[in-house]
Amino acid sequence: MKAKVNENCIGCGLCNSICPEVFTMTDEGVATASSDISEEQEESVRETADSCPVDAIEVEE
């Protein structure tokens, strides 16, 4: 699985609060996703993508 944060990100920090192992906030105030997503993190990443208020998280299976 891969996750990407697109240009829709408003920097609300919800993804970082749900799944801090994968999503971090940059100095510019937007989120970025780790390229290393383990099988144990996949469910949390999907939940995070579904929770994003602006659909900024793209998940590739």
The CA–CA distances, whole Å, from 17 to 21, 31, 58, 61 equal: 10, 11, 17, 22
What would the pLDDT profile of 4-61 be if each residue is shown by its tens digit? 999 999 999 999 999 999 999 999 999 999 988 999 999 999 999 999 999 999 999 8
Q: Which fold has domain 2-60?
A: Alpha-Beta Plaits (3.30.70)
CA–CA separation, 27 and 49 (whole Å): 21
Is 1 in contact with 59 (CB distance < 8 Å)?
yes
**What does the alpha-carbon distance between residue 39 and residue 42 come to, in Å, rounded to a whole number?**
5
